[in-house]
Amino acid sequence: MSQFEYLRRQMIDTQLSARGLHDETVLNAVAAVPREDFVPAELVEFAYNDSPLPIGASQTISQPYIVALMTAALNLQAGDRVLEVGTGSGYAAAVLAEIAAEVYTVERHKILADSARNKLADLGYKNIQVLYGDGTLGWPDHAPFDAIIVAAGGPEVPETLKQQLAIGGRLVIPVGTSLQTQKLLRVRRITEQEYIEEDMGSVRFVPLIGAAGWEDETATAVAAENSEASLPELIFKSSEHFASIDQVNLDKLLARIGDSRLVLLGEASHGTAEFYEMRSRITRELIEKKGFTVVAVEADWPDAAHLDHYIHGTAPDPMLESTPFSRFPTWMWANTSVLEFIDWLRAHNEKVRSTENKVGFYGLDLYSLSTSIEAVLSYLDTVDLETAEVARVRYGCLTPWANDPALYGRMARTKEYQTCEAGVLATLQDLMKKRLDYSIANCKQFFDAKQNARLIANAERYYRTLYYAENNSWNQRDQHMFETLQSVMKFRGSQSKAVIWAHNSHIGDARATEMSARGEFNVGELVRKKYGDAAYIIGFGTDHGTVAAASEWGGPMEIKQVQPAHIDSYERIFHGVNTDNFLLPLRYPLQEITRQKLLQERLQRAIGVIYRPEAELQSHYFYASLPHQFDEYIWFDETRAVEPVTRKTTEGTLDTFPFGV
């Protein structure tokens, strides 16, 4: 039995049979169809997850259980002729074709219709015909049908489809006045004029667009129940609105943060100015009003150390040749929003007399393999020449791969090159054995060297993990970031308080996202497990605007237009709130009805240093439950790209070395 066959059988047992679906004909049909062939290549490992998946054209392949449930509701017989409205990937049509004699399926997106037609032909399905057209009008040339199944939610049952049912035929369709209030109906045609409707429970589908459905995607967003306030209206009442970052009053937010020792500040992209500027504003108030002394960010340790020297008015190691913030993506930290914040930190520290109360700036990430090696060797050269020579030999194992450590991971995995694990671990152990001797002279310099040595060891393992099918490099990275945070807080003392700046995907609790189903955790989950309510996690989001990002890894920075949010996303809901900017408390004092409506998993957008608007649904959306993910959410409806630091930008500043310009 192959891996996918095993997952398919497990899916049938745990998702279908366990929920009471025991129709053997349907179960056998599902067992016969390779769902992995109907999802995008990058999502194939999730083919049998208990959830819908994006497939392109802002559409999804339905949850396996829903496909099986709707198929079972049709009560199909071997000789039946079936009409499907909404072909999508073609998966449901294949399941239907395993039972029925003929399947006719209509798809309004040409790219999906063509793709499904080719896929079904490749898999040998000769009893399926695919039409590109308006599915709400059915397929009159082949009517009447013994069964009709509609894979999208309409405002009502289309009369055109009812008329194409044979006497005794069954029609299964989601119906509702909005995406949040759909119910699954089964309609039976008794006579020419008589139909019986049966409510089969609540469901949630993409909108049924067409002449007999919704006019367009925006129609469902504005449709609201007359009996109660819409979710955007509830969010408006529950949130704190503000006109600008400079004018926002953060007193209530600080009260909600209370005595938390850690505050995690996210971002929905690495290239949005408002996210950096709002994090800066919140961090400044946490420093001034609540005594926070640690700023830990999703940046490499050596680069952040340059900023730390700058804000303390000290000089970096003159032996280091590497230029800080010169590695892709330079704009992520070398931008004017960060520069302004760093200048504020420097001015703040100049006013603080006590060394322990000065703010430190620390990097949590592990991509700086080459620079960290350089830093450790430079340190050892000043304190222990003999150990420095031994370390130089050990680190020499990694030297050929300094500029491309991912290549080292591949070579080590294929056994074409020896692994360097033992040597880098031994150097870290040597440092720890002599920590008392080394730290007597300068404990901060020793701490910096130790963190760089730990980074080298973890980075070596991380790059090998990239090529281990059974391991997870994401977990290696976030575990390193969490351990680095712990080391910094221990170094700064038992009363230290830290602000963490990182992407939403790192600081939002992974257990509330589809990451958890892949066996992935993140910094937010690890922090919550250790600190509980003493950690306060804040996510950020936007609907549209501009963003600084590349089209591929290592590519040039571009200013790109952020596409308006997907209709099935949290972002689309927040875009519907009647205010541009707001803070939404999710832990308390959020109204229970608002919280309950937000708990339902929805798509959430994540833009990193790469942004591909043309493939946004596949590349930048994932499912999450917002109130379980964050304690607070900050919304900017329209945002702008960060402005990279240039020589012109820094003219007249005290010192430009932190940004290497």
Residue 181 to residue 204: CA distance in whole angstroms: 8
Residue 61 to residue 50: CA distance in whole angstroms: 11
Which residue of the set 58, 62, 322, 625 is catalytic?
62
Residue 144 to residue 450: CA distance in whole angstroms: 75
Sign, Cα dihedral of 530, 533, 536, 537? positive
Residue matched to tokens 């020297």: 309
Residue 214: C-alpha distances to residues 62, 99, 150, 168, 200 (Å): 20, 31, 14, 28, 22
Sign, Cα dihedral of 211, 214, 215, 216? negative
Q: Tokens representing 515? A: 């990451």
Burial of 37 by CB count in 10 Å (0-12 exposed, 13-18 middle, 19+ buried)?
middle
Residue 541: C-alpha distances to residues 265, 272, 278, 343, 624 (Å): 12, 10, 12, 26, 13
Contacts of 632 (CB under 8 A, 6+ apart): 253, 256, 536, 537, 538, 539, 583, 584, 585, 586, 587
Residue matched to tokens 């393999």: 369
Residue 133 to residue 110: CA distance in whole angstroms: 8
Amino acid 227 reads S
Q: Tokens representing 583? A: 């803070």
Q: Tokens representing 233? A: 């209206």
The residues facing 264 across adjacent strands are 500, 537
Is-contact 27 68, C-beta < 8 A? yes
Q: Tokens representing 289? A: 């009003």
Beta strands in 50-164 (DSSP E): 53-56, 59-61, 81-85, 102-107, 128-132, 145-150
In 3D, which of 296, 303, 294, 350 has the Cα closest to residue 330? Answer: 303
Is-contact 364 484, C-beta < 8 A? yes
496 is catalytic: no
Residue 600 to residue 326: CA distance in whole angstroms: 42
Q: What is the residue-wise DSSP string for 243-312?
A: S-TTT---HHHHHHHTT-SEEEE--S-SSBHHHHHHHHHHHHHHHHHH---EEEEEEEHHHHHHHHHHHH
Instruction: Tell me the catalytic residues.
Output: 62
